[in-house]
Structure 1
Amino acid sequence: MGTGGHTDPPDEHAPRADGSGHRVPEGQSPEEYGDHRGRGDHDDHGHEHRSRWPLVAAAGAAGLYGGVASYILGNETGLVPPLLGVGLAVVGTIVLLAGVAGWVDQAFLAPARDPQGAPKSRDSYVSTTLVFLATDVSTFGALFVYYFFVRVGAWPPEELPPLLGSLVIVNTAILVASSVTFHYAHEALEDDERRRFLGLLGTTLVLGLVFLAGQAYEYYEFIAAEGFTLSSGVFGTAFFGLTGLHGLHVTLGVGGIAVLCWRALRGHYGPNRDTSIATVSLYWHFVDAVWLFLVIVLYVGASV
């Protein structure tokens, strides 16, 4: 206060307060500071939505595969009780299914129930998806190691069907094309091109379904025409184990893309609301890469 009851003019260099009483940093207006605080609060709120379900699913998968390995080891060597492996596999399966169910509900169904709710933390979902895919590499890796042991030991098998034909080439092209359409669908969403996004995402779903139909037809040809089945020696076990596991992954991916299409048609996605698109696309590209490696090692490798 100045003398004589007059109010001193405000110091333009003194820190100001916004509407909530917070001190505004020098060089910012209260409105700018409020916007900054709002973004900060939003970011902090977003980071509360870290998904634990991919890690739960990965732990369950580890228990399942470890149980199967323990069961085989127990049967072959007697070092561990086979029932221990069965119990571990059962528990692992339950945890795996619970993790997948929780993940699907949290990442897909909950946002669909409340599409206007607070956006989830994209980075946390993407990072946990990458962790899940890293653990999934070990799943395929175990079966590939088994196949490599087959190649070193009992090779060549007595009866090997013609693996490398036009069907697998067409199927491979279809899966690669689906990965390309998914990538450009995501780009279209980021550019806010809704019609192009919906068209490419729907195309990805159709290509995934066609791939599954092609793999089912291939199985039919091998089993009905060639007599080549899961019980056709160690190579049959490796072939159907690897392609069947991959087919399961493709089926899960197609289910995820179908949910994306359903939500996209309801207008749940936009340039800044693409967490589900980003996570499913990572999974789908992973499935595509595994298939290419599988074709090179299993189909081409067994034919040379």
Structure 2
Amino acid sequence: MAQDAPQQYEKYYVPEQSVWPIVGAIALFLIAVGAGNYVVEVSKDKSGYGAYVLIAGLITLLVMVVGWFKNQIDESMSGLYSAQLGRSYRQGMAWFIFSEVMFFAAFFGALFYARVIAVPWLGGASNNAMTNEVLWPGFEAMWPLVSTPGGTETQAMGWLGLPLYNTIILLVSSVTLHYAHVGLEENKRKQLTWMLGLTILLGCIFLGLQGYEYVHAYRDLGLTLQSGIYGNTFFLLTGFHGLHVTLGTVILIVLFFRVLKGHFTPKEHFAFQAGAWYWHFVDVVWVMLFFFVYIL
């Protein structure tokens, strides 16, 4: 009786212990402490160490990202990865993007709560006329809420101008990144390089225009973190999105240099695909943000 052939097992590379997770944890801690203190300092119009801690956290995070990427690239180019590990990476990236969806869902939920429940409630809706008179006499339920109980007045940021330009820029960047991906799958290296480089340029332009928009908000509109719930939600949503665009741009820059070194092939390029997933996700979030924060 013939014996069965021995079962073939696929290798699964397990990396050695790494310092980067703890470095990343320290970076996030510094960012949280620095950002929290910076917001308080700005709201109270006083100086402090918040901005310096925030910058230190961002620099530490950048060092962690670059170092960890380098380790991953070295492992991949050394042929240590297998098909099963590739599936694990895909699952991990999918769950990461899902966690980001929940992250922004919480902020959009806060925006909807303020607009649909809190502001009408303060205005006397649902038989809360007495609450209106006690908490904020003469309050008029409207959105954007351009005044605060303390008398701070501001102007709403319109959707025309910089926000519209940035929306167009991000939508175009998704198209250019798609054609870069097509170029990679069809082994058209020139198309891949130019389209990816153009995507990075558009991402940088977006960040530059968003910075200018913040200057315009503070200088010309009086729209600051002290502008009540409208100012808070505006800078919370757009600021965190800008942070994600920054991280996405860093990822694309790393991919660009890898492309120049010929690291990817039409069949083996999950790192590029993961970066594209992230960038398209950031673009979708901006479209929703543009609609709910700027237009409605």
TM-score band by shorter chain is 0.5 to 0.7
Tell me what 2:118 maps to. Answer: 153
RMSD between aligned residues = 3.6
Q: Distance in 2 between matches of 1:228 and 1:287?
A: 24
Provide Cα deviations, 1:248-274, integer angstroms capped at 9, x if missing partner: 000000011111111111111111331
Residue 220 in structure 1 maps to residue 227 in structure 2: no
Which of residues 265, 274, 278 in structure 2 aligns to 1:283? 278
Q: Tell me the distance in 2 between the aligned counterparts of 1:48 and 1:141.
A: 35
Structure 2 gaps, min length 5? 37-56, 120-141, 147-153
1:187-245 Cα offsets, whole Å, 9 max, x none, are 21111111111111111110110111111111111111111111111110000000000
Q: Deviations over 1:54-91 (max 9, x none)?
A: xx89xx7xx98xx99xx9xxxxxxxxxxxxxxxxxxxx
The residue aligned with 2:266 is: 271
Residue of structure 2 equivalent to 1:143:
107
Residue of structure 1 equivalent to 2:70: 109
TM-score normalised to the size of structure 1?
A: 0.66
* CA distances 1:154-191 after superposition (whole Å, capped 9, x unpaired): 33313432421121111101101111111221121111
By how many angstroms is 1:111 displaced? Answer: 4.5
1:184 corresponds to which letter in structure 2?
Answer: Y
| Contact 1:49 1:124 (8 Å CA) reproduced | no
With over 3 angstroms needed to count, the CA separation of the structure-2 counterparts of 1:130 and 1:262, relative to structure 1, is: same
How far apart are the structure 2 equivalents of 1:119 and 1:214?
A: 42
Q: Indicate whether 1:245 and 2:210 are aligned.
A: no
Contact persistence 1:176–1:288 (CA under 8 A): yes
Match for 2:247: what amino acid? L
Partner of 1:91: none
Residue correspondences, number? 233
Distance 1:278 1:119, change over 3 A: farther
Q: 1:49 to 1:257 in 2, by over 3 A?
A: farther
With normalisation by structure 2, the TM-score equals 0.68
Alignment of 1:1-304 (within 5 A): 44-45=10-11, 47-48=12-13, 105-106=67-68, 108-113=69-74, 116-118=77-79, 120=81, 121-151=85-115, 152-154=117-119, 155-156=142-143, 157-158=145-146, 159-301=154-296
- Identity among equivalent pairs (%): 33
